[in-house]
Structure 1
Amino acid sequence: GRRKMIRNTLIGSMALVPLSGVVLLRDLGPLPEDKLEHTGWEEATDAKPLQLINMNTNQPMKAEDIIQGSLTFAMPEGLHTHDEDFQQRIAKDALMLVRIAPEDIKDDKSKEKGFEGILAYSKICTHVGCPISLYEQQTHHALCPCHQSTFDLADGARVIFGPAGHPLPQLKITTDEKGFLVAHGDFDEPVGPSYWERAR
């Protein structure tokens, strides 16, 4: 009788093995579709650009507010710290602005997306999504404090050290008729770490 029970238990357990594969293949939840490819900046258009709002003062910024050698953090117009979904949205929308002397910018594409040496990059590290907050003004390197991924902001925010797999996405910025810094569209690359469905 015991042999029959052991055999039936073994058969039953082997029949359940494929179910674990189904769970793993479904990523333990619904697929993200294209949600990871867009941020709050996608609401910006040429007809209705979004102002860059200083995260410390909650005021729109002008080009002269960005001092060469400093790192300033911004968010899109219309996003407020008291919003119920603020933490969820800022996890993709957070922006860092740096002003570099135009002759020190090595990457021509970055220069075109910037304004008078002001470059706007995603603040979200492309390794595991930590916020980048350290900047070395002599080398123009930004450092993620979590795993020390280092990005050269003067050279298209390419990775020069650490485990990050992609450069930081850059946001194209200009100024409006009042001189405020604005964005006309979303990042051209998905923000944050790599994921299975990432096409770029």
Structure 2
Amino acid sequence: MTDLTHRDGNDVDDGAQHAAELDTVKDPRYPVADPGPEEHLPRLTDVDDKAADRAARQVATMFGLVPVLAIGFVVIYFAVPTSMFVDFGPLHANAKNIGLGLTAGMALLLIGVGAVQWGRQLMDDHEMVDYRHGAASTEEDVQYVLRELEAGTDESGIRRRKILGYSLLGALGALALPLIVSFADLGPKPTKRLRAATIETTIWKEGIRLCHDVTFEPIKASEMVIGQLVNAQPENLKDLEGTDELTQRAKASIIIVRMDPNSIKIPASRQDWQVGGILCYSKICTHVGCPISLWEQQTHHLLCPCHQSTFDLGNSGLVVFGPAARALPQLPITTDAEGYLVARSGFTVPVGPSFFERNSTHDFKEGDN
């Protein structure tokens, strides 16, 4: 049955409705009369209780399968090795990823299909006309909304068929399992030992030569001139390949600059970290890790192009402007027997942007020696 109501819940007067239709006919903007809602035909579930119960069982079954799929997700996550692959004709796919995708996808699909089936077959089915009103809600409107919410709850049938609500809550609750388990895939727990072996260390070691970052030709101290900046890498980087090479390059990249020793400040604790005004710093900005090499010779400033953090390479890489909070890490260098620049040791502090577990007590600060 078609139910035409005002926003306050009162029935629309048939005469007023007919008059409104005549008005649209007279109005040249509406040459065709409003035909009104089509005839409402009841659904099978509206007139047959057995059909309604059957639809309710279908929805509950869909919701009930979701916890099974969620448990399957967890089992696959822990039981299926990442090295297992399956073949689908020409496709060669990871078995674990396929299993996780199928179980999580089917769980979400069943919740969606079950909710659609619930709405199409079991929720109350009648047509309404709701007239537009102002944005400000009156007390009557608030009470009307509350009544409608109450009516909607009754129309959903959830009070008469509690299995629908219980099965839906169980399905949504079970979906938390794959979500929680998936957090473990964000990465290993950043323990002190793991940090020391990964993000807090580079491949720089004592005696490693400083080389041009493209040709890997070693750099002689005597070949550098005042004001020059060189982008460089450790010589042992060329021995790595693939992901290992990219990971180490991202951490070990450096810049080498030569400045007039009389125009820069070299702390007493870093006197042996330089060679005749040649200093070496990490190329990775301490703000968010952008590579930097915008060099201003006169001021000895190095500018990060991402967020304009500026470091004074003539004063131990201290921050003079921008959002970076830590000085640029400096690599201690010397020369070998052939006059080539080599590392005196690795970096004394982690390079790159800060992280929660990082200890900043060894970072260089103004006034340190």
What residue is the counterpart of 1:61 in the other structure? 219
Deviation at 1:114, TM superposition (A): 1.2
Do the aligned residues in 2 keep the contact of 1:111 with 1:117 (CA within 8 Å)? no
Q: Secondary structure at the match of 1:125?
A: coil
Do the aligned residues in 2 keep the contact of 1:111 with 1:119 (CA within 8 Å)? no
Deviation at 1:162, TM superposition (A): 1.4
Do the aligned residues in 2 keep the contact of 1:126 with 1:165 (CA within 8 Å)? yes
How does 1:8-47 map onto structure 2 within 5 Å?
A: 9=168, 13=172, 28-32=186-190, 33-34=194-195, 35-41=198-204, 44-45=205-206
How far apart in 2 are the matches of 1:153 and 1:8?
65
What residue is the counterpart of 2:110 in the other structure? none
Correspondent of 1:50 among 204, 208, 223: 208
Larger radius of gyration: 2
Determine which structure has the larger strand proportion and give its number. Answer: 1
Determine which structure has the larger helix proportion and give its number. Answer: 2
Structure 1 unaligned segments of length 5 or more: list them: none
After superposition, the C-alpha distances for 1:62-117 in whole angstroms (9 at most, x for unaligned) are 11222211210111112229832322211011110011111222241444411110
- The number of residues matched between the two structures is 194
Deviation at 1:14, TM superposition (A): 6.6
Aligned residue identity for 1:87: L
How does 1:165-176 map onto structure 2 within 5 Å?
A: 165-176=325-336
How far apart in 2 are the matches of 1:170 and 1:147?
21
Structure 2 unaligned segments of length 5 or more: list them: 1-156, 361-369
Q: Report which stretch shifted further, 9-18 or 135-144.
A: 9-18
Aligned residue identity for 1:102: P
Question: Using a 3 Å threshold, how does the CA distance of structure 1 residues 22 and 100 change in structure 2: closer, same or farther?
Answer: farther
Q: Secondary structure at the match of 1:37?
A: coil
Q: Report which stretch shifted further, 7-16 or 114-123.
A: 7-16
How does 1:111-130 map onto structure 2 within 5 Å?
A: 111-130=271-290
RMSD: 2.5
Aligned residue identity for 2:288: V
- Compute the TM-score of the two structures, normalised by the length of structure 2: 0.48
Using CA pairs under 8 Å that are at least 6 residues apart, name the structure with larger relative contact order, 1 or 2.
1
Q: Secondary structure at the match of 1:36?
A: coil
Correspondent of 1:136 among 296, 311, 319: 296
Q: Secondary structure at the match of 2:236?
A: coil
Do the aligned residues in 2 keep the contact of 1:110 with 1:155 (CA within 8 Å)? no
Q: Report which stretch shifted further, 125-134 or 104-113.
A: 104-113
Aligned residue identity for 2:255: M
What residue is the counterpart of 1:83 in the other structure? 241
Question: Using a 3 Å threshold, how does the CA distance of structure 1 residues 27 and 184 change in structure 2: closer, same or farther?
Answer: farther
Percent of pairs identical after alignment? 48
What residue is the counterpart of 1:199 in the other structure? 359
What residue is the counterpart of 2:322 in the other structure? 162
Do the aligned residues in 2 keep the contact of 1:173 with 1:182 (CA within 8 Å)? yes
Is the counterpart of residue 146 in structure 1 residue 306 in structure 2? yes
How far apart in 1 are the matches of 2:327 and 2:177?
38
Deviation at 1:197, TM superposition (A): 2.0
